[in-house]
A = this chain, B = another copy of it.
Amino acid sequence: MYRTHNCGELNSAHIGKTVTLSGWVQKNRDKGSVIWIDLRDRYGITQLIFDEARTSETLMALAKTFGREFVIQATGKVIERSSKNPYLSTGDIELLVTDMRCLNSSKTPPFTIEDETDGGDTLRMQYRYLDIRRNPIKSNLIFRHRIAQLVRNYLSEQNFIEVETPVLIKSTPEGARDFVVPSRMNPGQFYALPQSPQTFKQLLMVGGMDRYFQIVKCFRDEDLRADRQPEFTQIDCEMAFVEQDDILETFEGLTRHLIASVTGNQLGAFPRMTYHEAMRRFGNDKPDIRFGMEFGELNEVSKHKDFQVFNSSELVIGIAVPKANDLTRKDLDQLTDWVKRPQIGASGLVYVRCLEGGSFKSSVDKFFDQEDLKNWAKITGASEGDIIFVLSGNTDKVRTQMSALRMEMAERLGLRDPKVFAPLWVIDFPLLEWDEESNRYHAMHHPFTAPKPEQMNLLQSNPSEVNANAYDLVLNGNEIGGGSIRIHDKATQSQMFDLLGFTPEEAKSQFGFLMNAFEFGAPPHGGIAFGLDRLVAILGGQETIREFIAFPKNNTGRDIMIDAPSVIHKAQLDELYLDLQPLE
């Protein structure tokens, strides 16, 4: 037996007991006549003590040989510490070692195994097994487990059944790009890895499972943006015989349960906002509502005043940045540069200082008088000491630009408190969006989303006007979940594929099994999927999902620890009837 206790559980109640611990050497302080070793495992740290008065020479000598991250086993008597450490669960005691052995030595780690490490990202990824020893990563992984357990137990109690759907499925080149898997037994044919279990969960509803969930790996072969992973985990859910409200209530319950478990706070009903309202008030379909700075539309009070920039703009928007009047001229110049960067793309930034006493000082005083600016302040809700920022241009673009500026100002002003959780349902998404590039409609959610029943008549005549019972759950400015009520009849599904530019043959060969299923008594159904990686990160008060994934990949999809992907043997390729094309 390697241990009688772990390194986090001994306290003054154990004084006098003989125990055995195993773990890693966190620190070895050798004062000559006394040696202290901090022994660490997942559960905590216990101090080992060796001193000339009470410890044999052999043991003293052995203790001196143990460097950082050596793995050792130590037996001894629990004694009271002379100087206690109130920050440590084991801080009242130490172990006077009477027997000890080295279980494994360690080379000097390439970075320090401490809460704050000196290791850069690449080094930490290459030695991820050492990174995981660090408290922040270790507790993130434990936190992730805890959240997954909370989800599973909550949903199980609500009669949801976790059903495993297949990973080797069929390529459907709609939506994102599939990873494919050549089939040796079916030469020339390929499986695809699921981008989501969408069609399978719908078939489970057709199959009468009624309430399904699955915490499941999904795959997308996309060019990776920062903090995207080619494999990611979803909490995938579907319910039969439901309308939108049934789904929102069920998963609001789940989310409330998670937040209460993490923070102890019981949130009330989540606010709901239509997609169009979110775009109008925040310029964003996933607004962070932990803070204000809502958009004020200034068209009526800013146009026709000889300021050509506004006059020629489709939309003029202002936001009141609270208590920002201490920004210097230099700060404002810098912010102007910031919005003019290609990533944002604004042509300039108009500002209005809201001075004490109710007067205003703006960058456009030449064109607007105090009365004008007072109107702007009224519409944006600005008070004395605030600064109003104004952007103008094409509606879609200026909303996106102002949304970015709003988030940037919130970040700078510390308004994005990771300990505050502000969930929001965004509902009534448009069913379709027109894609200029491919000159056709794309499904805004996915091709299985049902049009709002009362708008079915518009589907032929005016598709872009049709909304869907599609909804996103937004938490602190991040989309953590999204879903919809689905189509459950063959005629509507065919019509949708047609709108999306599928030929009847393509629709049949790719999704024939689903349309067939709809002919055998498919119930009304709908669902939602949460991105577990992001959900966990946000609940953990962070935004970098990589810190919550045990073995993440880098931005080119590589696992640099195991060095994957890698070349394979010609024999393996031959078995799969594949040749590599020559690379330029």
Contacts and interface: CB of A to CB of B under 8 A. Distances in A.
Interface stretch (A92-100, A157-165, A433-441, A444-452): A157-165
A106 B170 contact: no
Interface string A547-584: 00111010011110111111111001011111111010
A362 to B, nearest CB: 49
Nearest to A199: B562
Given A161-B145, A162-B145, A206-B129, A564 B24 contact: no
A195 to B, nearest CB: 13
B106 A189 contact: no
Contacts of A581: 574, 577-579
A128 to B, nearest CB: 7
A520 B583 contact: no
Contacts of A71: 521-523
B106 A519 contact: yes
Interface string A49-74: 00000000000000000000111000
Contact of A553 (B162, B168, B488): B168
Given A106-B521, A181-B179, A168 B564 contact: yes
A398 to B, nearest CB: 35
Contacts of A562: 169-170, 199, 513
Interface stretch (A146-154, A300-308, A326-334): A146-154
B559 A169 contact: yes
A504 interface: no
Contacts of A187: 583
Contact of A164 (B1, B217, B564): B217
B183 A565 contact: yes
Interface residues of A, number: 125
B567 A168 contact: no
Interface stretch (A207-215, A403-411, A495-503): A207-215
Interface string A163-205: 1111111110100011111111111111111000001100110
B167 A141 contact: no
Contacts of A223: 185
A217 B167 contact: yes
A241 B520 contact: no
A43 B159 CA distance: 10
A413 interface: no
Contact of A209 (B42, B161, B177, B188): B42
Contacts of A231: 166-168
A291 interface: no
Contacts of A161: 141-142, 145
A104 interface: yes
A130 interface: yes
Interface string A28-62: 00000000000011110000000000000000000
A3 B107 CA distance: 65
A367 interface: no
Contacts of A199: 562
Nearest to A511: B562
Contacts of A572: 171, 173, 178, 180
Contact of A207 (B133, B163, B233): B133
Contact of A182 (B104, B127, B180, B561): B180
A298 B385 CA distance: 102
Given A219-B167, A513-B562, A204 B41 contact: no
A169 B70 CA distance: 29
B128 A551 contact: no
A577 B572 CA distance: 16
B167 A129 contact: no
A348 interface: no
A23 to B, nearest CB: 8
B521 A568 contact: no
Given A41-B208, A217-B164, A231-B167, A190 B130 contact: no
Contact of A203 (B41, B128, B142, B144): B128
A250 interface: no
A180 B181 contact: yes
B520 A129 contact: yes
A27 to B, nearest CB: 14
A210 B578 contact: no
Contacts of A191: 179, 564-565
Contacts of A558: 186
Interface of A: 1-3, 6, 22, 24, 40-43, 69-71, 103-107, 109, 127-133, 138, 141-142, 144-145, 148-149, 152-153, 156, 161-171, 173, 177-193, 199-200, 203-204, 206-211, 217, 219, 221, 223-224, 230-231, 233, 241-243, 246, 488-489, 513, 517-524, 549-551, 553, 556-559, 561-569, 572, 574-581, 583
Given A133-B208, A166-B231, A217-B217, 4 more contacts: A127-B520, A129-B204, A184-B221, A574-B581
25 contacts: A71-B522, A104-B518, A104-B522, A104-B524, A133-B207, A138-B209, A145-B156, A145-B163, A149-B152, A164-B233, A167-B167, A167-B193, A167-B219, A168-B219, A170-B565, A171-B572, A173-B568, A178-B572, A179-B191, A180-B568, A185-B556, A186-B565, A188-B583, A189-B567, A190-B565
